[in-house]
Amino acid sequence: MILGKILDESNADYHGCPAVSHSKLETFRRRPILYKKQYIDGTLAKPTSAAFAMGSALHCAVLEPSEFNRRFCQKPSNIDRRTKDGKAAYDQFVADNAGKEVLDADDFSTVLAMRRSVQLHASAQKLLQQGEAEVTWRVAHAGLPVPLQCRTDWVNVKGGYIADVKTVSSLGNDEMEFSRTVATFGYHRQAALYLDILAKCGLTDLSWYFICVEKCEPFGTIVFKLDQSALEVGANENYNDLFRLTRAYAENIWLNTPDDVQSLALPGWYK
């Protein structure tokens, strides 16, 4: 397995690699047995969603615009597949777009609107003026039988930063809204893991930016720079998770649900 900076690796090859990524580490964090079944045994498929497909399309549209029409296409809305002619027309559409991911008309137009929003945002465009899109990084980690890996949305080595594109439901409260999203989905751990992997590849003192774009009207874009305190929390949590993952591999013990009785109270918002 190639280690270090890896160019031109496909998204499918990246996700098919057995190395530990942020998403895999988050799975282990939530429930170790799921990690084992999904990524070691291969007996439980990782669920996919329309949101994942939309995210992939947006990343391509924003970060690799010249590739977008080669990899994605819009599902025709004027073909009636219940008729003989409609079936033939749709079969021709499929043949003409072999290998492309098909988005329905609403999703396709939404992706284009989000891309336009990012293109019109001065700070986002400044970040994306120079750099490299979709680069894979892979390094060994002591005690683990597989490497660590990450795939940067956008990295500017000379500028000293990584930019990560995120979709959000709303930017109504700007910082407060997205701060909760970061905590909920562990984006601070993602940032810290990526920066640690790139540091092991010789790239240190990088900053981390989020380019956030709404996936509905009015399709706003906002750029956040993650502060040092959030990165430190993420790094500490990653350290603990990787320690537990290393021990799980060594002992082949993958915890499921707690054995003891759990206390349950009403949520704070209800009180």
Q: Where are the beta strands (DSSP E) in the chain?
A: 4-6, 72-74, 101-103, 132-139, 148-156, 161-168, 207-214, 221-225
pLDDT per residue as tens digits for the range 176-185: 778 989 999 9
Contacts 24+ apart (CB under 8 A), 118-121: 118/62, 118/165, 118/211, 118/213, 118/221, 120/221, 121/211, 121/221, 121/222, 121/223
pLDDT per residue as tens digits for the range 26-75: 999 999 999 999 999 989 887 766 667 788 899 999 999 999 999 999 88
DSSP assignment of 102-167: EE-HHHHHHHHHHHHHHHT-HHHHHHTSSSEEEEEEEE--TT-SS-EEEEEEEEETTTTEEEEEEE
pLDDT surpasses 70 at 174: no
The predicted pLDDT at position 268 comes to: 86
Mean pLDDT of the region 150-166: 97
260 neighbors 159 (Cβ within 8 angstroms): no
26-29-33 Cα angle (round to 5):
105
Query: Residues with Cβ < 8 Å from 120, sequence gap 6 or more?
Result: 221
DSSP label of 20: B
Peptide bond between residue 65 and the one before it cis (omega within 30 degrees of 0): no
Q: Which of 7-21, 145-159, 252-266 has the highest mean pLDDT?
A: 145-159
The predicted pLDDT at position 93 comes to: 83
Which two structure tokens, joined as six digits, stand for 166?
């995120």
Please state, in angstroms and rounded to a whole number, the distance separating the CA atoms of residues 86 and 96. Answer: 15
Amino acid at 200: K
Please state, in angstroms and rounded to a whole number, the distance separating the CA atoms of residues 164 and 154. Answer: 6
Given the DSSP bridges, would you call strands 148-156 and 132-139 parallel, antiparallel or unpaired? Answer: antiparallel
* Mean residue pLDDT across the chain: 92
pLDDT surpasses 90 at 154: yes
Q: Is the C-alpha dihedral spanning 73, 77, 81, 86 positive or negative? A: negative
Mean pLDDT of the region 250-262: 93
152 neighbors 11 (Cβ within 8 angstroms): no
Mean pLDDT of the region 165-179: 81
163 neighbors 154 (Cβ within 8 angstroms): yes
CA atoms within 13 A on the CB side of 151: 21
Higher model confidence: residue 172 or residue 109? 109
Which two structure tokens, joined as six digits, stand for 249?
């591999």
Percentages helix, strand, coil for the chain, rounded to the nearest 5? 50, 20, 35
Please state, in angstroms and rounded to a whole number, the distance separating the CA atoms of residues 26 and 14. Answer: 17
pTM more than 0.85? yes
The model's confidence at residue 6, banded by pLDDT at 50, 70 and 90, is very high
Strand partners, 162: 155, 208
